[in-house]
Amino acid sequence: MKKTFRASLLSALVGMGALATHSATFADEVKWPTRPVQVVVIANPGGDTDFNARMMAKYFNEITGKTMVVTNVAGGGGTLAAEQVKGAAADGNTILFTHPGQLIVNEVAGLTEDSYETFDVACIAGVDKSTVFVASKQSGVTSMQDLVDKSKANPGSITYGTEMGSFSHIQGLMLEKLTGAKLKMVDGGTVSDRVVGMLGGRLDMGAITYGSVQDYVQGGQMVALGQPNDERNTMLGEVPTLKEQGLDITMDKPYVVAFPKGTDPAIVKKMSDIMQQITEKPAYAEDLKKFKQPVAFYGTEEAKQILAKTREDFMQFKDELRKAK
């Protein structure tokens, strides 16, 4: 019997047609933006979160004629960026660009008492569908079933590189829960650090965006074991889903746009409407292909549903995450 684990409501909502299907209507009564808008990103430049924020800013500028400035505030698992936005004036001129690693995992791990409800969530601007479970050639792991068999036969023999207490840590814990495998969780640092660790034989596997490991997969130094998507992201080539391999599991990482608490609801709605209009631009879809990411959008209420369900799912790993911290 196949086991099932849903990390969010995204798959169900897609089936309901949650992807932008109605034309955006701006809240005409609110005059916003009137000056440059700062987007505080929880990650360093160059990664998938930063990329999505910059794509949003690019087309926001085009649609509104106003400037959206991206500011990277990494550190503390995203808590530094969140605190900056939390303490900003609720005038619509400061936005947090984040994902469940900061909005939910930090709360579950005990890193902060704040949750996604600390902010006024505008929308989900995109969803990462490019992450794959990948193993180094030196590990000898050749498939998901091989991974499960080896880790069960010799628990803890396979090192899973992650940032302890992070979203990738949750992904590893989910995999363990689903399969009954027992991995050795190792703090491998940032994505680039983990890639180096796998190439050097210090780490056996991890959950990493395909664009970061594609050259090594194609060169034979790594093996892409599977993508944790509800259906294949064809931009990842022939990498099978976990579902195709008998593991009915999805692990979505949505990118969330949020304002300081108390922001005018009309501004929150207008930002959601603008983001929806951005997702309808063919040029935006082409830009996202650079990170092998399909277009996705969820409005305010759907975004809140997704975050609430994700929080519920993640809470079962509270003890493991707090122990790691």
Mean pLDDT in consecutive groups of 10 residues from the start of the chain, 325 residues: 47 46 52 96 90 97 96 90 96 96 88 92 96 96 94 95 87 89 92 93 94 93 95 93 87 94 97 98 96 95 95 88 72
On the question of a cis peptide bond just before residue 33, with omega within 30 degrees of 0, the verdict is: yes
Tell me if 35-126+252-322 shares its fold with 129-243. Answer: yes
Q: How many CA atoms lie within 13 A of 20 on its CB side?
A: 21
pLDDT for 11 = 53
Tell me the per-residue pLDDT of 156-179, one tens digit each, with 9 for 90 and over. Answer: 999 999 988 788 888 999 899 888
- Cβ neighbours, 10 Å, residue 324: 17
Which residue type sits at 304? K
pLDDT for 138 = 95
Among the listed residues 30, 37, 34, the one whose alpha carbon sits nearest the alpha carbon of residue 266 = 30
Triad 17, 29, 33: Cα angle to 5°: 85
Please name the residues in contact with 128: beta carbons below 8 A apart, sequence gap of 6 or more. Answer: 48, 99, 209, 252, 253, 254, 255, 293
The ranges assigned to domains in the chain are 35-126+252-322, 129-243
Burial, 307: exposed, middle or buried (Cβ in 10 Å; 0-12, 13-18, 19+)?
buried
CATH T-level topology, domain 35-126+252-322 = D-Maltodextrin-Binding Protein; domain 2 (3.40.190)
pTM above 0.75, yes or no: yes
| CATH code for the domain defined by 129-243 | 3.40.190.10
Among the listed residues 142, 249, 160, the one whose alpha carbon sits nearest the alpha carbon of residue 206 = 160
Tell me the per-residue pLDDT of 230-260, one tens digit each, with 9 for 90 and over. Answer: 999 999 989 999 999 988 888 889 999 999 9
